[in-house]
Structure 1
C-alpha cells in the first residue's frame, strides 16, 4: 500500500487545493492520501478564516483520506520550523512520499539548494552570497519546498513537485483557481467568491485578525517588558518596539506596518503576536519533547484502516484531546482559547467544546 502526504493549511480550502489533491494522487499513484494541516492559526501568523474542524470536513469530502494536525508550536514558526514539524508528522503517519507545490517545479534545483543549506556555515563568502541571492529570486512555495527537502534528508520519504498555478500572494479573484490570499480578501471586501472555493457559504469575518487587536494591545500595555521578553520569538528587544507602537496606534494594520522593517518582516511580527496571545514562552518550546504523536482531526473508511495499522506499529495516535502529550496539550488549549477570543459567549463555548471532540469521520 502506497501512502502519500501533503502539507496544507486550507485557509480556506479552494479549487487550487482540489488540483493539488488530484495531482498528488496522480503523481504518487497512492492508495491513501494524508494531509497534515495547520490548526486554528496559520504559518503566516494569522487566525485561520475557518476553524480546523470545518477545514478538515471539506478536505475529507474532496479527496483526502486522513487529516492530521500540525502542532501549534510548529505551525507558528518560520519555514524551517514549520517544515520540520510537518515532515515529522507525515513520517509518523507512515507516508512514502510527499507532493508539494512549486513555482519552478524543478525538484533537482531545489534539492541542490537544500543540500547547500544543510551544510555547516561555510567560510566561502562568495558561495554564501550566491546562496543568499538565490533565495531572493525564489518565490514562497519554492522557499518552503527547500525547507521540506532539508527536513526530508534523513528520511526515506520521496519528494515530488507540481507546478503552482498562481502566486502565493496573488490578489486576482477573477480566475477559477484563485489564491487563498485573494479569497480571504474577497470575503473581507464582500466579494463573490463562490467560483473559487467550495467553502464560500461557510466563510465570514468573525476571525479577522483585526478583531484580536484589543487583546494584543491590552497585553502589550499591561505586561512587563521582562515578562514579554520570555514569549517565544520575542527577541532582540522587539517587545520594547511593540509596547511603544501599541500605545501609538489604534488599529492592527497601523501597528504592524509601523513595526515592519528589513529586520522584522510582517509574517515574523504576526507570528510573534500570536505567541503573545497564547502566552507561549521560549522555555515551553525549548522543553518540549520530540514530536512522537499524531493528532487525528478526521478520516474516512480507507483512512480508518490505515490508522489501525499505525496503531499496530505502536505509533502514538491521539484520537481525542486528552491523548495529546500534556506539554503539547496545554499549548493547544491556550491556542483554542485565543482563537475563540472575538466570539460571543455562546459561540466561544461551542468553539472550545470542539477542541475536545473526537475526529470527524466520513464513511
Structure 2
C-alpha cells in the first residue's frame, strides 16, 4: 500500500455496538468511499462518566466484523471528559492516523449550521464561571442543541484545526430514548433492556451482555473514598472543581444507594454526566497534576484490525508510536489505562478481576475478512 490512501474516521463508544452503528458504518462508506475506515473508540469508561456495558476488546471486535478496518483506543483521560476535550483527543488521534475525513451522526444533519455556530466568539469556560453547567452554557451560547450536535460542534472545531473534513449523517433515533424502537434503537434503550433482563438481541449483534458494569455497583468504593479522604486531598482529583467535593461528601453521608446519591448531587451547576466523570476520576485516582503534565499525544493504541487495517498501519510506523503491545504505550498513559481496567473490574469476583487485568496486556485482535 502507498500513502495515497483515502481514509475516513469515526469517533465512537459502541456502548454496546448495535444495528444503528452498522447503518452508520454503511452510510459512512457510501458518503466518503474510503480505502480504510478507522474508529477511535472509548475504552472501558465512556464519556457519560460510566463503565462501558462490556469490555473494549469485544466492542472493537464487533466493529471490525461489521465493516471497520481498524479500531484504536481513545486514551482514558480524553474519553472521560466533557465534549470539547473528548472531541479534541479523538480528532488528535485521527490526525496521528492521517485520516482525511470524519463522519458523525447528527440530529440536525446540518454541517453548515455547526460551522456557522463556531463563529460565535464567546467562551464556554467564561460562561461556566457564572455557575452554570457546560450543557447550559452551550444552550445559552448556541441555542438548544441535541447531544450529538454538541459533540459534532466540537468535532467540527477540532477537525478544522487539523485539516480533517467533517461530514454528518442523519441520526435516526434519540440519544436518550429509553425504549427499544425495533431493530434500530439507541444504545441507552438497549442498555435498559439488559438492565431489566429483557430481550435486547434484536437491536445488536452482540450477545452475552449483562448488567455487571453499572455505576451503582461501584458506589461502595466511591462512598469509601469520599468518606475517608480529606476534602483538601479530594480537591487534587481531576475534575474535582468548583467545590463539588463538598457536595459529594455531604450527599454520600445521606444516601445509601447510588441513584439516590446522584439525584441529590445534580443541580444547576452539576449535571449527571459531569458528576459521574468526576467520580470516575476519583475511583481511578487521576490527579490534576497527572493531566496537567501529560506528554503530547504521539501514539495510537491498537485494539483490533483486519488485514487492510494492519497493512495501513505499516504505512505509518515511521511517523508515530503504534502501540500494538501494552508496554509501547507511553508510561503516563499506560499507567492510566492499567488503573482504568483494574477499577472497571471492581464488581467482578477476584478471579475475574485477575482475568480482566490480564486482558489489558494482550495484543490487538486480528479479525480475518
**So what's the TM-score if we normalise by structure 1?**
0.95
2:100 counterpart of 1:96: yes
Give the structure 2 partner of residue 238 of structure 1.
244
**Which of the numbers 298, 323, 329 marks the counterpart of 1:324?**
329
Q: What is the distance in 2 between the residues matched to 1:209 and 1:121?
A: 28
What is residue 143 of structure 1 aligned with on the other side?
A: 150
State the TM-score, normalizing by the size of structure 2.
0.93
SS at match of 2:119: helix
Instruction: Note the C-alpha offset of 1:77.
Output: 0.4
Q: 1:179 aligns with which of 178, 186, 190?
A: 186
Alignment of 1:192 onto 2:196:
no
Partner of 1:361: 366
Alpha carbons 1:118, 1:150 under 8 Å: kept: no
Pairing 1:82–2:89 present: no
- Confirm or deny that 1:63 pairs with 2:70: no
Evaluate the alpha carbon distance shift between residue 133 and residue 245 of structure 1 in structure 2; reply closer, same or farther with a 3 A threshold.
closer
Q: 1:321 to 1:109 in 2, by over 3 A?
A: same
Structure 1 residues not aligned, in runs of 5+: 123-128
**How much has 1:285 moved relative to structure 2?**
0.2
Provide the C-alpha distance between the structure 1 equivalents of 2:202 and 2:192, rounded to a whole number of angstroms.
Answer: 14
Gaps of 5+ in 2: 127-135
Structure 1 residue 134, shift from structure 2 partner: 5.9
Change (3 A) 1:357 1:121: closer
Report the CA distance shift for 1:173/1:131 in structure 2 as closer, same or farther (over 3 A). Answer: closer
**Could you tell me which of 339, 345, 359 is aligned with 1:340?**
345
Between the aligned partners of 2:220 and 2:138, the Cα distance in structure 1 is 41
Deviation string, structure 1 residues 55-89 (Cα, Å, up to 9, x no partner): 01111111110000000000010000000000000
Aligned ranges 1:16-27 → 2 under 5 Å = 16-27=20-31
Contact 2:236 2:287 survives alignment (8 Å): yes
Counterpart CA distance in 1 for 2:239 and 2:125 is: 23
**Which residue of structure 2 lines up, in the alignment, with residue 72 of structure 1?**
76
SS in 2 for 1:115: coil
Q: Residues 11 and 40 of structure 2 are in contact (CA less than 8 Å); yes or no, is this contact kept in structure 1?
A: yes
Cα distance change on mapping 1:194 and 1:288 into 2, 3 Å: same
Which moved further from structure 2: 4-13 or 149-158? 149-158
Deviations 1:300-358 (A, max 9, x none): 0000110000113x211111111111111111111111101111011111100000000
Q: Secondary structure at the match of 1:33?
A: strand
CA contact (8 A) 1:37 1:67 kept: yes
Q: Report the secondary structure of 1:202's partner residue.
A: coil
CA RMSD, 1 decimal? 1.8
Cα pair 2:117 2:142 within 8 Å, conserved: no
In structure 2, the CA distance between the partners of 1:118 and 1:149, relative to structure 1 (3 Å rule), is farther
Counterparts in 2 of 1:1-363, with a 5 A limit? 1-116=5-120, 132-133=139-140, 135-199=142-206, 201-312=207-318, 314-363=319-368
CA distance in 2, matches of 1:273, 1:286: 19
The question of whether the paired residues in 2 share the 8 Å contact of 1:135 and 1:143 is answered with no
Contact 2:74 2:93 in 1 (8 A): yes
TM-superposed CA distance for 1:115, in Å, is 3.3
Q: 1:322 to 1:210 in 2, by over 3 A?
A: same
Q: Any runs of at least 4 consecutive aligned residues in structure 1 with deviations exceeding 6 A, and if so which?
A: 118-122
The CA deviation string for residues 90-140 of structure 1, in whole angstroms up to 9 with x for no partner, is: 110111101000111111010111232588999xxxxxx997446441100
1:289 Cα deviation (Å)? 1.2
